Structure 1
């Protein structure tokens, strides 16, 4: 007697397809050597930032004027006690670069998260409801885009004062427009699709439709914009600190280190070069990681 197995349920087929897609995504990510290298750099930076008190050889603000402007250890006049040399006040450069990563990563992630939440909510409401809500929100976005973001950040910081959390709030509130425009565009292309129409027909609320049906479909572009905004926020924080309007001077940041080292570029290049390299590598690694995450989140991309 021959028996035939019942066809697999829809849930089973979906689980198999999802598992296959996840395997393809992970395989594509592992084969992307630049993405693996970027993720390695970011992981090292994150570990250094989290465990800075354990990793840094010195207190980043400890001064030793007898050891001021010591060159890196591999230089003929360098000393092994200071691997990357010392600055104009005798502070250890390696310790300051490590502690600077804490502020940069916190500002970048915090500003991107705040801007992403605001921009996503605005984009969902604007694209889904349309009409006067869309016109009002997009005109507000146009007004903000009329001002250069860094100039607007400078004006707001100058008004509310400097500090770690004010900088995060300023960079978050000035960076939501790019999220809103992309989410609005995606939602406007999705709101007339059959699955949205059917959800409305059976009485699903607007909030549920946006949360369960629209939001998951905009994750891929949000990942790309978010990672790019993290890098942009890190550079913006460094620019504000360079101008003396960012995080207070007693807090170590790469921007303030660049400002301190600009006067010594001709004689003691390491004071400005090492924080500059750290800033460049961090921004580059975040951008490469963002591109890789976009490809992983987009099934069409990694299947190609």
Structure 2
């Protein structure tokens, strides 16, 4: 039997399953709609994809490292209760481990095979949704590597080894002593966790962000009634302070506020026996950018009481 686009759409509307899954289900059942629905249910696909509309803003950040590379991934769940589940933690840990074998992109990781399941990461997540009964998603990832040096990792308030709500990677380029590089890298990672810098240096700060700050400072200065020449100097001074506060290397080091991060890294070079450079960093905090659905608990109770 020929499978039409209309049939695929109908099955998708009824089950919430993905287009390719619906097409395969119809092909497997000779176009029988009810049989296709049952086929999707037996595979756990309909159950999983029906839940995809629910907000998954909890979960875990997982980090993993090997050699001169490290990865950080975010795997989401609907509730913190599930995030504390051993099965979910194993899932997040497995995805981070698989990520080390790829270029670190979401697409590459999603298509890679999880050794313990012999399925792709995407299909493994779908199976976990069907098994646990809660929406989950592999949301984002990043990978850092260096030719010489280390990529230090840090997980803030870790719930298990390499798992927590906030993870940081710091690429440290140097031919110096690895233990010294790991030590300064971890300290810088802890600093990044605490301060959330916007960029590595002032030159790396997004131009649109800097321009927005500048415009705010200009308007604030104009309200003072000062002449334009004075206003320009005021704005330049405030912009210098802004860059110092948001660019990693110019921030006051939380481990020693008398130093900037850049100065601390330079000092570490003496102990390492070679120049040390912070080449890049990544900071993932759980749920960043996800709009959580706010529920009115009282309204829900009232609605339930009305039956």
TM-score range for the pair, normalised by the shorter chain length:
under 0.3
Which TM-score applies when normalising by structure 2?
A: 0.26
TM-score, structure 1 normalization:
0.26
Q: Which has the higher helix share?
A: 1
- Higher share of residues assigned strand: 2
Could you say which structure has the greater relative contact order, defined with CA pairs below 8 angstroms and 6 or more residues apart? 1
